[in-house]
Amino acid sequence: MGALRRPFLLLAMLALVLAVGVEVGAGLLLGGGDAGAALTGSAGDLGVEVGDVSGVSEPSGRGTGYLVLVDAVALWTTGLFCLGLVLPERIHGRVQGVATLIFSIVLIIVAFVALIVAFVELMVMVSLFLAVPFGTLAYLALWGFFPVGDAAVLLGLALLLKLAWAGLLVLAQPKFLQNKGLVLLILTSLFCTVLLEFLHNLVPVILVSILDDLGALIFAVIAIVWALVLLIGAIPAIVKAVRATAALRAEPDPDR
């Protein structure tokens, strides 16, 4: 299948790092803008009277930021490939198992906490929206106008970078396509990005925050599932490394 092309692998890593950077920065790049006029028009379309909404700002949302939970697995996997370029195979095999075990446990904890936060916020959103009229007004003031256009730009950029990551991985080593786990991970990352964009355009703008939070909830669950996959996969690697170390220690010293 050919040797590993290191420049393409490093470029793939760079593309994924940039994609994750876009997702991490979404909380700072999205939201904060004045949404008074747009909120009044959208609420009017649904027959909701919102009165004076001056000073209402756009929420940043959680969905784009929560994509990092899924892409952290992709970033970790790609990072292990790159680590293999600088570490001897024997050392890399031992480090990989233990490091992946620790990473998966940390990711499970972080994703679980994020899952609870997103679930609680989603319940608050739905409860307020259904509590007509004062709860609905409170919901509209907090989450009534989501910056769908700005989010679409960031998601499009992240998706483009992820496609570049996937393509560069194949250019680095076509044999990666035989790795079913890696292919599934790539498809999962791309699917989550497309899914969030779909959710943002599925309902009227005043309801987008609810579906954005639902997307965040889904991504946290997916991240936990992938973290469990990594956790289970790390155990045989650790056992193999321990056996190899024990075998080396059991070998007789030729100098004696």
Give 21-55 pLDDT, tens digit per residue. 999 988 777 765 555 555 565 555 555 555 555 55
What pLDDT, on a 0 to 100 scale, did the predictor assign at position 61? 82
Domain boundaries, the chain: 6-22+60-244
Whether pLDDT at 131 is above 70: yes
What pLDDT, on a 0 to 100 scale, did the predictor assign at position 254? 54
Whether pLDDT at 135 is above 50: yes
pLDDT greater at residue 188 or residue 37: 188
Whether pLDDT at 1 is above 50: no
What pLDDT, on a 0 to 100 scale, did the predictor assign at position 248? 43
Q: How far apart are CA 30 and CA 35, in angstroms?
A: 12
Task: Evaluate whether 182 touches 233 at the Cβ level (below 8 Å).
Answer: no
- pLDDT band with cut points at 50, 70 and 90 for residue 148: confident
Angle at 215 between CA 166 and CA 118, to 5 degrees: 125
Q: For 61-65, 82-86, 166-170, 181-185, which range has the lowest pLDDT when averaged over its residues?
A: 82-86
Give 82: exposed, middle or buried? Use CB within 10 Å, 0-12, 13-18, 19+.
Answer: middle
Give the model confidence (pLDDT) of 100-122 as tens digits: 889 999 999 999 999 999 999 99
Whether pLDDT at 92 is above 80: no
Whether pLDDT at 96 is above 90: no
What's at 161, amino acid-wise? L
Task: Evaluate whether 114 touches 66 at the Cβ level (below 8 Å).
Answer: yes
Whether pLDDT at 189 is above 70: yes
Which of helix, strand or coil describes residue 77?
A: helix
Most confident of the ranges 50-64, 108-122, 125-139: 108-122
The per-residue pLDDT of the chain, averaged, comes to 82
What percentage of the chain has pLDDT greater than the value 90? 48
Whether pLDDT at 60 is above 60: yes
Rounded to an integer, the average pLDDT of 158-171 is: 94
pLDDT greater at residue 256 or residue 184: 184
- pLDDT band with cut points at 50, 70 and 90 for residue 237: low
- 133: preceding bond cis by omega (within 30 degrees): yes
Task: Evaluate whether 140 touches 39 at the Cβ level (below 8 Å).
Answer: yes
pTM comes to 0.83
What pLDDT, on a 0 to 100 scale, did the predictor assign at position 154? 92
End-to-end CA distance of the chain: 45
